[in-house]
Amino acid sequence: CRVLVIDRDARGAKQIKNKFAALTDVVVADVVDERAMASAFNQVDAALGGVDVLINNAGISIRHRFLDLSPAEWSQVLAVNLTGVFNVAQQAAK
């Protein structure tokens, strides 16, 4: 079994790789960035030869009261939780 993790946080990715030495690799990329996802999946293809199973679990939440949530914060939640999931799934399916 070969597993690769994509994380937007380089430091977090390094910590994951150190904790789980059996990982094939980690790739740093932001799911919201379509070009970054295309590049990340080029790295996935090089490391794994493609994707057999995808666990697409990127997501964020902003911990404010609803009435205190700004439109920009809401847009970021939608970007990561919807557009990011779309970007990852689309790249994995190619």
Name the 3-class secondary structure at 4: strand
Please tell me the distance from the alpha carbon of residue 10 to that of residue 69, in angstroms, as a whole number: 28
Largest CA distance in the chain: 47
pLDDT value of residue 21: 87
pLDDT value of residue 89: 98
The identity of residue 27, as a single letter, is V
Q: Is the pTM of this model over 0.75?
A: yes
Please tell me the distance from the alpha carbon of residue 63 to that of residue 33, in angstroms, as a whole number: 23
- Closest alpha carbon to 51 in 78, 81, 24: 24
Helix residue ranges per DSSP H, the chain: 10-19, 34-48, 71-78, 85-93
- Domains within the chain, CATH numbers bracketed: 4-93 (3.40.50.720)
Please tell me the distance from the alpha carbon of residue 13 to that of residue 61, in angstroms, as a whole number: 20
pLDDT tens, N- to C-terminus, the chain (94 residues): 899 999 999 999 999 999 998 999 999 999 999 999 999 999 999 999 999 999 999 999 999 999 999 999 999 999 999 999 999 999 999 9
